[in-house]
């Protein structure tokens, strides 16, 4: 049995989490492991999951309230040892500079484009696997 990659998905919007789930599919690319999504709707749930470990990548919704994904990304980069790579969902392409400020490794615009999203997520999983090897 092939190991899976655990991807944390943070959004207070169930529809956004569903878009991520559908775009990721079972496996975002043939050369990465199948994904298992861990959905979180609150910042305490995100922090708890990251402290427990075993997360291979994070997808954070920049539009989540009250703790937006950009601020959460910056916080976890500061606070979580060996923080997994982050894919940030941003509202518009002009917000890419905020993704850079937050130290996210990748960003895609919302609504989620399945091809762009899967490519970005697969890239993060590849980079994480390369670091662990």
Instruction: Determine the Cα–Cα distance for residues 123 and 101; give it in Å rounded to an integer.
Output: 20
CB 50 within 8 A of CB 83: yes
pLDDT of residue 65: 93
pLDDT of residue 129: 74
Q: Which of 65, 115, 109 lies closest to 87 in space, CA to CA?
A: 109
Eight-class DSSP state of 93: G
CB 100 within 8 A of CB 3: no
pLDDT of residue 128: 77
What is the domain partition of the chain in residue ranges? Answer: 5-132
Instruction: Determine the Cα–Cα distance for residues 115 and 113; give it in Å rounded to an integer.
Output: 6
Averaged pLDDT, groups of 10, the chain, 133 residues long: 87 97 96 97 97 97 95 96 96 90 96 96 89 65
User: Which residues 6+ apart lie within 8 Å of 3 measured at CB?
Assistant: 33
pLDDT of residue 131: 66
CA-based angle 99:102:107, to the nearest 5?
30
Instruction: Determine the Cα–Cα distance for residues 123 and 103; give it in Å rounded to an integer.
Output: 16
Eight-class DSSP state of 61: E
pLDDT of residue 133: 61
Q: Is the peptide bond before 124 cis (omega within 30 degrees of 0)?
A: no
Instruction: Determine the Cα–Cα distance for residues 71 and 60; give it in Å rounded to an integer.
Output: 10
- Determine whether domain 5-132 maps to CATH 3.40.50.1000: no
């Amino acid at each position: 049995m092939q190991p899976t990659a655990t991807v944390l998905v943070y959004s207070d919007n169930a529809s956004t989490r569903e878009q991520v789930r559908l775009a990721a599919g079972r496996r975002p690319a043939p050369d990465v492991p199948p994904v298992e999504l861990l959905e979180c709707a609150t910042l305490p749930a995100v922090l708890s999951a990251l402290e427990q470990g075993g997360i291979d990548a994070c997808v954070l919704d920049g539009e989540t309230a009250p703790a937006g994904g950009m601020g959460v990304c910056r916080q976890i980069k500061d606070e979580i040892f060996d923080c997994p790579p982050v894919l940030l969902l941003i509202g518009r392409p002009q917000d890419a500079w905020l993704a850079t400020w937050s130290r996210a490794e990748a960003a895609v615009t919302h609504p989620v484009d399945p091809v762009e999203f899967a490519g970005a997520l697969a890239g993060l999983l590849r980079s994480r696997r390369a670091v662990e090897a």
